[in-house]
Amino acid sequence: MITYNTAGTYTITLTAYYQTTTSNITSTVTVNGLASADFSANDRTGCGPYTVTFTNLTPGATSSTWDFGDGTGTTTAAATVTHQYTSIDTFDVVLTTANAAGCTKTVRKDGYIMIAAPQLSLVNNLTEGCIPFNATLTAVSSNIDSDPVSNYAWTFGDGQTQNTATPTVSHIYTNSGNYNVNLTVTTQQGCTATRSYAQHIRTGTPPTGVSFTATPSNTCAATPVRLLASASNANSYSWDFGDGVTRTGAEFDITRNFMQTGSLTVNLRAGNNGCYVNAAPVNVQIGPSVASFSFTRSCNNRRLFLFNNTAIGDATDTYEWDFGDGSPLETIASPQHVYTAEGTYTVRLSVRNAGNGCVNTTFQTVRVFIADFNTGVSTVCRGTSVPFGVVHVPRRW
């Protein structure tokens, strides 16, 4: 058996050998071939429903079997074929082509056709305020195939609509309420996309008589301070505690344990459906000190722990350490301690400030263990697998 890898016409000669002579016979064989298959599309990207024209570029092709990647296909003798994609997705296209001799070739192009609608979002503009509220809305549209948006159709939720050629629009809300915003964009090629933003705009009338008190206003760190707001026509309160922490909600009477020392300025805004009014700020004086510490184990002695005092205070602070193992209390700032037995211990640090008499205490858990391992066997034969198990190590330490 002979295999011809190249198309063409071949002459085959058979020679018979006799004792005194030879005899030849020849025959011609034509091997038909088909060039490498290929195809193209008039446009590979669009928005659905979208019609694509495919062209079989294979020389000598007499038949084309198409798989459009969306579960449909067709066989045709024509070099071109049109197909409409109705869903948004990325599609693999496969062409199997044949010539007059019945030779076939197949070509597959993954992700060849991409059908996608514009993706819409609104930038983080101010979406709440007091009536009359002038809302500025800015749309962002991500489009494929360099197909820019030609029209933005806005529905503001208050019965008003507006069409713009630019992505930013302003609209004045004159009544209190929550408003849904709808946006439909149309591209130059006629693609459309719509997105709704539920209760995107909130408007209200200003609360009155907004104020609050802090009790006590001069106290030690970690001591509860009551913050009590007073306002009419308010359903939301936005607190700024002056220590980097904020809170917004319906709470008008809250308790705050301040862990930052010094003079802190607390601010409050009372709101009615997004319409906020500022109260006069209140200063709270928080006296030192705040207890805190970290610790490490010694690499040379696994029972030795080194404690690092990170308390916030001043030069008048004194310290009291309890290592939780019944040993005598320690009063230096950053002590070391050797545990004589393995176990779990609760370490306490109390810091007393001589200037104001404030005492603050913090606790941490220390786990003392000596890591070890075992095999379960003492003698094995060569080539035998030995399991090793870690012992005396807690799951968390």
Which tens digit of pLDDT belongs to each residue from 109-158?
999 999 888 889 998 778 999 999 999 999 998 877 667 899 999 999 99
Number of neighbouring beta carbons within 10 Å of residue 212 = 23
Q: Residue 26: what pLDDT?
A: 83
Query: With bands split at pLDDT 50, 70 and 90, how would you rate the model's confidence at 397?
Result: very low
Residue 336 neighbours by CB under 8 Å, 6+ apart: 304, 305, 306, 307
Do 184 and 174 meet the contact criterion of CB atoms below 8 Å apart? Answer: no
Which range among 100-104, 193-197, 306-310 shows the weakest confidence by mean pLDDT? 100-104
What does the pLDDT look like over 347-363, one tens digit per residue? 999 999 999 999 999 99
CA distances from 70 to 23, 78, 324, 336, 397 (A): 62, 21, 70, 71, 56
Q: Residue 22: what pLDDT?
A: 83
pTM of the predicted model as reported, rounded to 2 decimal places: 0.64
CA 77 to mean position of chain CA atoms: 50
Task: Round to whole Å and give the CA distance between 334 and 343.
Answer: 22
- Pair type for strands 304-309 and 293-297: antiparallel
The residue type found at 201 is I
DSSP code at position 273:
T
Task: Round to whole Å and give the CA distance between 138 and 103.
Answer: 58
- Edge-to-edge strand order for the sheet containing 168-173? 119-122, 133-142, 168-173
Query: With bands split at pLDDT 50, 70 and 90, how would you rate the model's confidence at 235?
Result: very high
CA 342 to mean position of chain CA atoms: 43
Question: Average pLDDT, stretch 217-227?
Answer: 95
Taken in order of first residue, the domains within the chain and their CATH numbers are 119-204 (2.60.40.10), 209-287 (2.60.40.10), 289-397 (2.60.40.10)
**Minimal CA–CA distance to 38: which of 78, 101, 96?**
96
Q: Residue 47: what pLDDT?
A: 81
pLDDT > 70: what percent of the chain?
91
Which range among 21-35, 209-223, 263-277 shows the weakest confidence by mean pLDDT? 21-35
Q: Residue 27: what pLDDT?
A: 80
Structure tokens at 263: 């003079």
What does the pLDDT look like over 284-295, one tens digit per residue? 999 999 999 999
